[in-house]
A and B are shown apart, each in its own frame.
Chain A
Amino acid sequence: MILIVDMNWMRNSLAFNEFVLPIVSVVEPLEECMVKHFLEIDPAELCGYSKIVLSGTALKDHATLKQVDKFNWIKKYDKPILGICAGMQTISLVFGEPLTTCLQIGMTEITTLKENPLFQGTFKAYALHNYSVEPSQTFEALAESTKCIQAVKHKQKTIYGVLFHPEVRNQEILKLFVQINQ
């Protein structure tokens, strides 16, 4: 069972259809999934999930970035996590890595920097973000655009972050994450 975390500012928001349902429609045919809003997560229950996907949010929604303390469970969870957009930004903050300003909206060319199980080469992806991250002690950069880092992986854990939206274009990336063996 995969947990999909709704990262929008409130439960059952108008952005749910746009940022959470498209992820469900890619993941569900491959593996059973459960959706929970980030404020509803009980860390004690997380061991029941094989993987976790953190959704993106609307461009003006910074709710999770202001409530990073609600995500301390990320450090303890020892199975694969994929953070999309706000999900990647939140993961970075959880590990104390700061965000950098990087506004991109629309189709963007992504270049892979490091071999990884989710994508390779150069491809176009849908971007909708205000912030990115710098390479850090905790994360290695997996991909970049001409403007900023577009994907990261935790150096020790199977925690991935993509700034672009694979549920919009490049759904294969989400499918490969579902199939990843730890």
Chain B
Amino acid sequence: MRLGVLFSGGKDSTLALHLAAQKEEVVCLITVVSKNKESYMFHTPNIDVTALQAEALELPLVSVTTEGQKEEELADLERAIAEAKNKFQIDGVVTGAVESVYQASRVQRICNRLDVWCFNPLWKHDQKTLLETLVEKNFKVVISGVFAYPLDEKWLGKQIDTKIIARLVELQSQYGISPSGEGGEIETTVLDAPMFKQRIEIIDYTIEAKGNSGVYIINQARLVPK
């Protein structure tokens, strides 16, 4: 099966790509760039880095921009998947959905209309185990957004390792935050993964933070040999 992966450049979509590539042929990445910071479906701080990640993965990127209004952005996602179907003859789409039936059912409906398969290889998986898998498989993942108490700017730019996982799990029991950020508490950016032919090096970044909300914006980055 030829598949396109819905790719935000964060840990979940990159791990979904990793799993999909072990079983089927991944032929492209599909990215929706939302201008709306409140977008439920697509917003992520470093979405522009997906072009560099696609280059590192040596996979073509189908990228569409959306104003990010609730229903329009779904039409834009449909346009992106339709473009991937026409251009790369994909039979199916892969998402990094873990818990959100809101996101999963919307993608399922679009796939149904376009007559393509929809796969969610991380669906309902234990969040701590997902984070541990990333560390085990040598994914280099940095926290690029925090959006919930008691997370703050000290977390931004930190690489996910066993210590960070232990701390996130602690916060889950104390404050009920989802350790993998499934409720939008954390956003991440992947700088290296087993499928990357080169890794991403950050040259310049900016931290914008206020209280328990902040983003780590990558201003400039480049590919370097692994």
- Give the interface of A toward B (CB within 8 A): 12-15, 17-18, 21-22, 25, 58-61, 103, 105-107, 126, 128, 167-169
Contacts and interface: CB of A to CB of B under 8 A. Distances in A.
Contacts of B24: 14
A105 B105 contact: yes
Nearest to A107: B101
Contacts of B92: 60
A111 to B, nearest CB: 20
B126 interface: yes
A74 to B, nearest CB: 26
A14 B19 contact: yes
Nearest to B122: A17
Interface residues of B, number: 26
B123 A105 contact: no
Given A14-B20, A21-B125, A25-B126, A105 B117 contact: no
Contact of B118 (A12, A58, A103, A107): A58
Interface stretch (B63-71, B77-85, B108-116, B205-213): B108-116
A14 B119 contact: yes
B101 A22 contact: no
A23 B104 CA distance: 18
- Summarize B's interface: helix, strand, loop or mixed: mixed
6 contacts: A17-B123, A18-B124, A21-B125, A25-B124, A25-B126, A59-B112
Contact of B105 (A61, A103, A107): A107
Contacts of A58: 117-119
A17 B19 contact: yes
A14 B118 CA distance: 10
B121 A18 contact: yes
Given A59-B112, A106-B105, A106-B109, A22 B123 contact: yes
A154 B122 CA distance: 34
Given A21-B125, A167-B124, A105 B109 contact: yes
Contacts of A168: 101, 123-124
Contact of A13 (B23, B105, B109, B122): B23
Contacts of A21: 124-125
B120 interface: yes
Given A18-B123, A168-B123, 11 more contacts: A14-B119, A17-B19, A17-B120, A17-B123, A18-B121, A25-B126, A58-B119, A59-B108, A60-B118, A128-B108, A167-B124
Nearest to B23: A14
Contact of B112 (A13, A14, A17, A105): A105
Nearest to B117: A60
Contacts of A61: 117
Nearest to A26: B124
B101 A169 contact: yes
A52 to B, nearest CB: 21
Interface string B95-108: 00000010001101
Contacts of B120: 17-18
Contacts of B121: 14, 17-18
